[in-house]
Amino acid sequence: MSERRTTNVEVRLPSRMGFEKVAMSTAASVAKLMGFRDDRVEDLKTAVAEACINAIEHGNRLNEKLSVGVILSAGEDSLEVKVIDDGKGMKNHPSKPDIDRKMHGQEDPRGMGMFLIQALVDEAEWVAGTNGKSSYVRLVIRLDKDAG
Amino acid sequence: MQSETKSRVDQITSPAGHPVTVLRFEGDIASTSKEAVLGTYQALPKATNKLILLDFTKVDYINSSGIALVIQLLIEASNSGQKVYAFGLSPHFVKVFTMVGITKYAGLFPGQAEAMAAL
């Protein structure tokens, strides 16, 4: 049986808007090293950025005393990203934004982050932490998806 | 940490002879871009600016808060009888704008020349 190897990279971000770009750049670097196509790297960048924004804004409520943990686990054929915050976790599942309702003022123009995350990666799950802390979103992007 | 969003307004005329207002953005389009995106648009007189063209050529990063600002601009434009088009988005952000439905209310073009030819 061949041994499966996983390489981990960890980043810790302050809960300040804008620092999601640090995680985004790190994820892009790891994905490029793994051989992901450019378009998949772009998908991952947006998904990771949105996950970090949610963690900073909703999980840690912009409290700069709290940090957001980002753990990238590079396997042989997939990259897993966990974005961890000190919030209670997301209660609602992502729903597809309805542009007509937004245009007519029936839906908030915001609120697209979770939808984008789920749409751009191969797996996305939101896990509420025990004791109402250390919640995380777990993303997986597979190396061989639509390989051509 | 987020790069400041710069915006500039150009007035040009389409090959068909229509006056077109071009809002050119540079930097990130994020939650901090409200003044650059909405403020710049809202400063335009509505009666004389009926065709609005958004230039994203020099924008590298757009997040969901930035997309929400674009949607707010589209709502105000729709309520004012203005038509909005955009160009210069990377293939990734063309995909994202399409996924969230923006293409239903703003035509997307690869570059300024293609957009102007269609106006």
Q: What ipTM was estimated for this complex?
A: 0.93
CB contact under 8 A, B64 and A109: no
Residue A27 resides in a domain: yes
Which residues of chain A from 11 to 70 reach within 8 Å of chain B, CB to CB?
Answer: 16-21, 39, 42-43, 46, 49-50, 53
d(CA A116, CA A42): 12
Q: What residue in A sits closest to B4 (Cα-Cα)? A: A18
* Binary contact (B104, A100; C-beta < 8 A): yes
Closest CB from B2, B63, B71 relative to A50: B63
Please check whether residue A56 lies inside any domain of the structure.
yes
Residue A2 domain-assigned?
A: no
Highest mean pLDDT among A39-43, A102-106, A128-132: A39-43
Residue A18 belongs to what domain range? 7-142
In tens digits, what is the pLDDT along chain B, a chain of 119 residues?
667 899 999 999 999 999 999 999 999 999 999 999 999 999 999 989 999 999 999 999 999 999 999 999 999 999 999 999 999 999 999 999 999 999 999 999 999 999 999 98
Task: Identify any residues that bridge with B29 across adjacent strands, giving them in sequence order.
Answer: B62
What pLDDT is recorded for position A148?
43
| Dihedral (CA of A16, A20, A21, A22) sign | positive
- Core vs surface per residue B72-90: b (16+ CB within 10 A) or e: bbbbebeeeebbbbbbbbe
- How many domains does chain A divide into? 1
CATH code (residue A93) = 3.30.565.10
pLDDT, one tens digit per residue, over A16-55 is 999 999 999 999 999 999 999 999 999 999 999 999 999 9
Please report the domains of chain B, with CATH numbers, ordered by start residue. 6-118 (3.30.750.24)
- Give SS3 for B42: helix
Query: pTM, whole model, 2 decimals?
Result: 0.93
